[in-house]
Amino acid sequence: MIKINRFGPVTQFLLTKNTSTVACYYIDGYLIDSGQDHCKYELEKALIPYNLERIINTHSHEDHIGGNKLLQEKRGLPPSWAHPIAVKELETSSEWGNAMPEYRKRAWGVAESSSAQAIPDEINTGNYVLKPIYTPGHCKDHICLFEPDKGWLFSGDLFVSKNLNSVQYDETAPLIIESIEKIMRLPIKKMFCSYGKVYDNAYEQLNAKLENLKNWKSQIMDLHNSGFSEEEILHKVFEKESRAGIISAGCLSRAQFIHQIIYNEPLFIPTGTNG
């Protein structure tokens, strides 16, 4: 299912399959992310009336690059722009995608490999300027896009929810905190999120998430330094594992979050993945 929402000159394509919802944003000929493989044909059809110059990917996860290949072929697009680290990931996504844990394949599908190039330092769309801001943590190649005159932030997966306390095996929880602190130095007014939320109180939302992360980090480290095990810490801080943690067999979990906060490395990486 696809739903189209308009926020002034920004058009949002909200792609939903089962319980998975991902947002792509169109502005002035540029498409920011291309959603999950499950919805690529719907997105391609919805974009027919729109002039499309190029795709910009905020990062290389399968739910943000799923429509790249189809749109490049159907619309004759040049390689998408992404962080330099992401280029190889986009060009080999069919390979590493097939090695992903099953929960990721079911939720978002395997993205076809597509062509990509390193994003320039600044993108002038004609009416707007988009500045890539390197914000690792959610993954090693994550960027946000900032429009300084309007104060718009296209946040990718830097912000999903202010209350999110489960992380995936290829995330780095301490770096997420650093990246939020970095992005909050910008004069942000409106934030366009990858799961469909658009916030006019962007700074307040980011600050709430940052404070939550710092509070959890403080509790976790205090308990760790007092000799509590990671399992004990989980029950004391969060009471129980998240639903996502159970469904993903710990790949996307509070247990991962706790371990990463303490040791700055994943609790485990699923066998065969490129984490």
pLDDT for 126 equals: 93
The full set of domain ranges for the chain reads: 2-263
If one counts every other C-beta atom within 10 angstroms of the C-beta of residue 64, the result is 30
Which tens digit of pLDDT belongs to each residue from 203-226?
A: 999 999 999 999 999 999 999 999
Q: Which of 205, 94, 200, 80 minimizes the C-alpha distance to 143?
A: 80
Which tens digit of pLDDT belongs to each residue from 93-140?
A: 999 999 999 999 998 999 999 999 999 999 999 999 999 999 999 999
CATH topology of domain 2-263: Metallo-beta-lactamase; Chain A (3.60.15)
Provide the percentage of residues in the chain whose pLDDT is more than 70. Answer: 98
Residue 39 DSSP one-character state: G
CA distance 123 to 32: 12
Which tens digit of pLDDT belongs to each residue from 27-82?
A: 999 999 999 999 999 999 999 999 999 999 999 999 999 999 999 999 999 999 99
Which tens digit of pLDDT belongs to each residue from 172-181?
A: 999 999 999 9
Instruction: For residues 77-88, give the mean pLDDT.
Output: 98
pLDDT for 18 equals: 81
**What stretches of 125-197 adopt beta strand conformation (E)?**
129-134, 143-147, 152-154, 167-168, 190-192
Dihedral Cα 232, 236, 237, 242, nearest 10 deg:
70
Q: Which of 66, 69, 118 minimizes the C-alpha distance to 97?
A: 66
Residue 127 DSSP one-character state: S
CA distance 239 to 98: 34
Handedness of CA 59, 62, 175, 213 (dihedral sign): positive
Q: Who's near 235: CB < 8 A, 6+ residues apart?
A: none
pLDDT for 35 equals: 96
Q: Which of 65, 62, 27 minimizes the C-alpha distance to 43?
A: 65
Q: Who's near 195: CB < 8 A, 6+ residues apart?
A: 21, 22, 23, 160
CA distances, 47 to each of 14, 25, 149 (Å): 12, 11, 26
Q: Who's near 58: CB < 8 A, 6+ residues apart?
A: 32, 33, 64, 82, 142, 143, 144, 145, 154, 155, 156, 157, 194
Question: Given the DSSP bridges, would you call strands 54-56 and 30-32 parallel, antiparallel or unpaired?
Answer: parallel
What are phi and psi for residue 98, nearest 5 degrees?
Answer: -70, -15
pLDDT for 20 equals: 85
CA distance 56 to 70: 15
